[in-house]
Amino acid sequence: MGLKIYLDGKLVEKDEAKISVFDHGLLYGDGVFEGIRAYHGRVFRLREHLQRLFNSAKAISLDCAISVDQMEDIVLKTLRANKLKDAYIRLVVTRGIGDLGLDPRKCPKPTIFCITDKIKLYPEEFYQDGLTIVTASTRKNIPEAVSPRIKSLNYLNNILAKIEATLQNAPEAIMLTKDGYVAECTGDNVFILKDNVLKTPPTYLGALEGVTQRVVMELAAKNGILCREEVFTRYDLFTADECFLTGTAAEVVPVARIDGRLISNGQPGKTTLKLIAEFRKLTLSEGVEI
């Protein structure tokens, strides 16, 4: 028996998990999604992820047609079907099947699917030695065009920046706003530490409000580390005492070099290592039981 996928009310084999070519998620990127993690038999921050999913859906006038509790059951049911206790979960809601036009009213029913599988975004040495990343020339979409708080299926802006990173053999790329401020990376939020103050860009600049980002801010507060959302530039990246990225798949990963400049001495800093340890400790005990 292979991997089971939840698709519109049924658990189907991976090879049978198919959607229509008329689905507006495929045709236009019209839909929303969440990436979620399960650790040691518990789904970490599941309610926060589901709330962000439903908020994103509401922002684009997409009716998920089921409740948050029912969506939670889908996630847990899919994990159980695949006998997974440590997993990455991809939960997707598309506008559904329509015609070849843009009008969402022509899509009477959303498509919902859930994939649960293993994932390891970065090898362990990156957490020990830090990432070498670059700044992309591709700028973030302006918030007035597409709100960064909507986690939509249209990721082309991020993909273009990811292509730039790949062409430079870098695992990630910093994305700037149209005015040159640091927004986020292609798939992660970014933090810097300077003079014992931890800073992350505010969401209004063009960054997704990250679940892991918020967890790290909570952990910083509990450990007496001053943390705030603040605007900063590439100069602040280059001159930071420490830098790290956060994301559901990446968790908390240090950055050692950006655009050829070493961050401090080029080694993960003590605050970063402390937060990595605290985050991993939290995942051992917190979450919705599978």
Count of CB atoms within 10 A of residue 268's CB? 24
Quickly tell me which residue has 């079907």 as its tokens: 81
Residue 4 annotated in active site:
no
Task: Report whether 102 contacts 28 (CB < 8 A).
Answer: yes
Task: Report whether 251 contacts 122 (CB < 8 A).
Answer: no
3-class DSSP state of 13: strand
In whole angstroms, give the CA distance from residue 255 to residue 264. Answer: 10
Torsions phi, psi for 217 (to 5 deg): -65, -40
The catalytic position among 151, 162, 178, 281 is: 151
3-class DSSP state of 186: coil
In degrees, rounded to 5, the angle at the alpha carbon of residue 162 between the alpha carbons of residues 183 and 62 is: 70
210 Cβ contact partners less than 8 Å away, ≥ 6 residues apart:
188, 189, 246, 247, 248
3-class DSSP state of 229: strand
| Ranges of H-type helices in the chain | 24-28, 46-59, 68-81, 124-129, 156-167, 211-222, 234-238, 270-283
Task: Report whether 216 contacts 210 (CB < 8 A).
Answer: no
Residues annotated as part of the active site? 151
